[in-house]
Structure 1
Amino acid sequence: MTIDHVDLARVDLNLLVALDALLTERSVTRAAARVGIGQSAMSSSLARLRRLLGDELLTRAPEGMRPTPRALALAEPVRRTLRQIQALVRREESFDPRVVERTFTISLPDSTEVLLGPRLLAYLRAEAPGIRLLLRSIDRAHILEELDTDRVDLAIGFASEGQMHHKQRLLYRDSYVCLFDAAQVGLAPPISLEDYLRFPHILTSLRETAHGVVDDALAKLGLSRTLAVTTPRFLVVPFLVRAAPVIATMHARLATYFAGALGLTVSPVPVDLEPVAVSMLWHASYDDDPAHRWLRQVLLRLAGETQEVEPLATPTPQ
């Protein structure tokens, strides 16, 4: 499409910044604070946007301001356009992680935070001290919406189906092992299926449901297990395991770390379980953002895996 420079020159492109803030915050007050202007100025921008686009854009609702269908349709192209303009005016060659000042909001499960968080923090303090992290628990039900509204810069977790503007990159694959206190259960690895089912289990579920991949695998064999505790937090699992004669089935990397730190034991799982993929997820508008791309590359290096990595081998029993 040919650009009509005369017509476009009549439009204040700062209105796109205001529109993006209004659609993100759904509040004139918060949008004004996000842009760094007064509330009256943001109200004036909203009025001008309504006239320009011939739509109310935001209407009052019990929960705040609700975007109209027209506004929802504009949200993604406006965000993409602003990202492209931002990338255009920034000099990528001048990007220097040693001097950049930026905060990244990353959503991830606590299991990944334990494995990657310390290494990432150490690396950033040494190589990019101006980059700060805001780490949040991942909400799998709303993570795509949080990426779309710029509340989250990057998500790390299990593979998720998104739209064309949601980008995904594999960090690593992991297998499963059993974690238990050998003194309490009286078992040594490798444990049998009979022993595996003889003890109650700890289930970690981010969806907070009392059913997991182990239960699916056992059901195929016509078997089931007894659950003692279901929790969404991986970090509590080793302490639960140390407290009672129970068995937890969890990702091998984390279980092996816990075993070495707390004197627990790991063993291969006596049922077939598919390896789990841990991936990064981000909005496509950040593809060419120098700092964002640099952070993704750092995470890939720290994860120690390539995109085509094979599942981890079963760790040596502790």
Structure 2
Amino acid sequence: MHISRVDLNLFIVFEAIYDEGSITRASQKMNLTQPAISHALGRLRELFGDPLFERRGHAMVPTPLARSIVDAVRQSLRGLELTLNGVDRFDPASARRRFTLALRAALEPSILPPLMARIAVAAPQVDLAVLQSERRTLESELAAGTLDAAIDVLLPLSADIAHTRIAADHTVVLARRGHPRAGTGLDLPTYLALEHILVSSRRRGPGLEDFELSRMGLQRRVRLRCQHYFAACRVVSQTDLVLAMPERYARVVNEQFGNQILASPLPLPAVDNHLYWHANVSHDPANIWLREQLLAVMLD
């Protein structure tokens, strides 16, 4: 079928239903009536010869065909949007825009406050949605335009994904004030003699510190494994356990606990953070502006 016979607005409806999982929410997002959305869905079903979405309770669940085409649809719509917007410069003072950014949870407390302070002043009608960084889908989401940018460690992505190194983070060790063995610093034997907290989203497996220790033929005792640095910092403040964590995050999350922040006795390499975006938006004025804001707060 030739594209001239297809109403491209149908694909905007398709994306809205896919993203919202509901005809009602899709109609609200697009400022259309529910019958108009339902009519468009009917035309899409006829076009593809597939229901595309099936109702399960209150949700519209995509069919296998819908899942197989959604990335191509998103990327095509994104390309058209960039073509139309490319002739205009991006004016943050008047732009109505929602950016979507992928971040590791540990970066949010240090990045989001200064970032939103900048955006609130320079772009009063620009909104920001921050999502958990999912590395296995990062490239496809950047390509589809569901993510505008991402910040993560150096990842093995294709040449379609542009990136730049923006900051390095060192590992520090937290111990409570008055810890009987930490004093004002830690040497390696003392560090190994203490009991440790490991923060990880994985159910099992060693941390970066454990990899380095194993290379040296050494081992530490992990007394507690938990999911969040905030909880770990609180445990540190009330026990003699110590915690290794990124310095940038430690400076923020530890403010209310007052733990000592000590240099790590392990020769751990700094963890580089990289800013990622898709090559097809490298010259998009809006994406350039977003990247400038992120670089400003990360390099500050």
User: What's the TM-score once normalised by structure 1's chain length?
Assistant: 0.77
1:25-78 CA distance string (max 9 Å, x none): 45444444433323332333233223334x316153868523334x44432332
- 1:65 matched to which residue of 2? 61
Cα 1:269/1:99, change in 2 over 3 Å: same
| 3-state DSSP of counterpart to 1:98 | coil
Amino acid at match of 1:279: H
Asked if the contact 2:177/2:237 (under 8 Å) is kept, the reply is no
Q: Which of these residues, 290, 295, 298, is aligned with residue 300 of structure 1?
A: 295
Inter-CA distance 235–151: structure 2 relative to 1 (3 Å threshold): farther
TM-score (norm 2): 0.81
Tell me the residue number matched to 2:238. 243
Match of 2:199 among 204, 228, 238: 204
SS at match of 1:97: coil
Amino acid at match of 1:99: S
Secondary structure, in 3 states, of the residue corresponding to 1:279?
Answer: strand
Output the amino acid matched with 1:301.
A
Structure 1: tracts of 5 or more residues without a match: 306-318
- Distance change >3 Å, CA 123–CA 267, structure 1 → 2: same
Identical columns (%): 28
CA shift at 1:196, angstroms? Answer: 0.6
Residue 187 of structure 2 aligns with an amino acid whose one-letter code is S
Rounded to whole Å, the distance in 2 between the matches of 1:153 and 1:47 is 31
Determine if the alignment matches structure 1 residue 20 to structure 2 residue 15: yes
Q: Is the 8 A contact 1:57 1:68 kept in 2?
A: no
Give me the CA root mean square deviation.
3.4
CA separation of 1:134 and 1:26: change in aligned 2, threshold 3 A: closer
Residues 1:51 and 2:46 aligned together: yes
Is residue 188 of structure 2 the alignment partner of residue 193 of structure 1? yes
What residue in structure 1 maps to residue 84 of structure 2? Answer: 89
Give CA deviations for 1:125-180 in whole Å, capped at 9, x if unaligned. 22222223334444556656765776654433334445665554433222212222
Aligned-residue offset at 1:233:
2.0
User: Which range is displaced more, 251-260 or 237-246?
Assistant: 251-260
Aligned length: 298
Determine the structure 1 residue equivalent to 2:153. 158
What are the residue-to-residue correspondences of 1:25-174 with 2, within 5 Å?
25-53=20-48, 55-56=49-50, 58=52, 60=54, 64-69=60-65, 71-90=66-85, 92-138=87-133, 152-162=147-157, 166-174=161-169
- Distance in 2 (CA, whole Å) between partners of 1:203 and 1:213 is 10
Matched residues in 2 for 1:285 and 1:48: separation?
30
Residues 135 and 81 (structure 1 numbering): CA distance in 2 closer, same or farther, change over 3 Å? closer
Equivalent-residue separation in structure 2 for 1:144 and 1:263 (angstroms): 39
**C-alpha separation between the residues in 1 aligned to 2:94 and 2:128?**
16
Distance 1:8 1:142 in 2: 29
